Amino acid sequence: MTVQEPVLEGERQRNEDLEGRASSYNALYEHWERHQWNAAALDLGVDARSFRALSPDERESLIWIFAHRFHAEFNVARLLAPFLMAAPSWEMELLLATQTADEHRHLQLVLRIYEAVFGIGGGIDGVREVADRNLDVVAETLYAGLEDYVARLRADPHPDRFLQAVVVYHLLGEGVVARTAQNLAAPMYERFGEFPGLQRGQRLVARDEARHIGIGVSYCREAMSREPRRTRELVGAVIDEFSEVAGELLGKADDEMGDLVRGGYGVEPAGFYAEGMRLLDLRLRAIGFLPEPTP
């Protein structure tokens, strides 16, 4: 065991604790205040040298993974405004404002990585052009689904719409799709070479996103305690739709993206799907939608 491993394990456990239980809104806000960081200060010099030493196929795989990261951060950053407008309380609005700041910082970090490590400039427009060329059918479908629920919230900021948008955004978008990609991408840096800046950046982003997931868990858990029957009905409708889409996308990923998933994440598409379903089960247990497993 290396010196770093106990530290990383401690970080991972703290993230899982934050994602797996309801917290007070004040505690979630204070967590944000205590854990500020600077995307511009991350040292990416070693990462740039390691990237240049990769084979063309390896460089393509890494750029493909970060195309996913760009689209994820770009979409979640721009879609948070309707949540702020529909927030049912000042405390929730404050948390969503801190999350908006986080998401834009994550996007800025991705832009820095593209320029400093991959050598791709042009700011957000230049990076988006590259990322769009690497956009796959799975990501495109998932982002369209997220945008659909946010559009419903924008058109009708009813508490029911807000709850369902939180389920889609916080529990599924961040808590399942994004966290699956992060969990599977974590070992890839060692496989590709020495990337300490990317590893450090991923840990900082994962810590922020654990809090975002915790916001969703806390809000949904509160709703489940207040109106269990109605909340279960609304959450169940979202989960049924998500599960159907996920099953369809697995077939498309097997047919169209097998080589990309294997090259980028080191697993078969079925492995990516299995990790997502594992995390979905954890999120649903955290909000009380599913019972805790018996010992």
Give the tens place of pLDDT for each residue, 21-66. Answer: 889 999 999 999 999 999 999 999 999 999 999 999 889 888 888 8
pLDDT the model gives residue 5: 44
- Identify which has the larger pLDDT, 211 or 291: 211
- Torsion of the alpha carbons at 47, 49, 52 and 53, rounded to the nearest 10: -100
- Cβ neighbours for 231, distance < 8 A, ≥ 6 positions apart: 163, 220, 223, 224
- What is the pLDDT confidence band of residue 259, given thresholds at 50, 70 and 90? low
Overall average pLDDT of the 237-248 stretch:
81
Q: What percent of the chain has pLDDT over 90?
A: 51
Among the listed residues 73, 125, 121, 131, the one whose alpha carbon sits nearest the alpha carbon of residue 100: 73
- Cβ neighbours for 141, distance < 8 A, ≥ 6 positions apart: 245, 249
Overall average pLDDT of the 219-236 stretch:
96
Where are the alpha helices (H) located in the chain, listed in sequence order? 4-20, 25-34, 45-52, 56-78, 81-86, 90-116, 123-133, 137-155, 159-166, 179-185, 188-192, 196-226, 228-256, 258-265, 269-286
pLDDT the model gives residue 191: 73
pLDDT the model gives residue 242: 84
Q: By mean pLDDT, which of 63-77, 184-198, 220-234 is the weakest? A: 184-198
Q: Is the pLDDT of residue 196 over 80?
A: yes
Q: Is the pLDDT of residue 192 over 70?
A: yes
Residue 192 tokens, joined = 């590709």
Please tell me the distance from the alpha carbon of residue 201 to that of residue 112, in angstroms, as a whole number: 11
Q: By mean pLDDT, which of 8-17, 108-117, 170-179 is the weakest? A: 8-17
This prediction's pTM: 0.88
Q: Is the pLDDT of residue 285 over 80?
A: yes
pLDDT tens for residues 108-166? Answer: 999 999 999 999 988 999 999 988 887 766 667 777 788 888 999 999 999 999 999 99
pLDDT the model gives residue 6: 47
- What is the pLDDT confidence band of residue 94, given thresholds at 50, 70 and 90? very high
Overall average pLDDT of the 63-89 stretch:
88
- Identify which has the larger pLDDT, 234 or 140: 234
- What is the pLDDT confidence band of residue 274, given thresholds at 50, 70 and 90? confident
Overall average pLDDT of the 168-191 stretch:
79
Q: Is the pLDDT of residue 4 over 50?
A: no
Query: Three-state DSSP class for 199?
Result: helix
Q: Is the pLDDT of residue 195 over 50?
A: yes
Please tell me the distance from the alpha carbon of residue 167 to that of residue 150, in angstroms, as a whole number: 11
Q: Is the pLDDT of residue 255 over 60?
A: no
- Which domains are delineated in the chain? 43-286 (1.10.620.20)
Q: By mean pLDDT, which of 71-85, 183-197, 280-294 is the weakest? A: 183-197
Q: Is the pLDDT of residue 10 over 70?
A: yes
Q: What is the CA radius of gyration of the chain?
A: 19
Among the listed residues 235, 215, 217, 201, the one whose alpha carbon sits nearest the alpha carbon of residue 100: 215
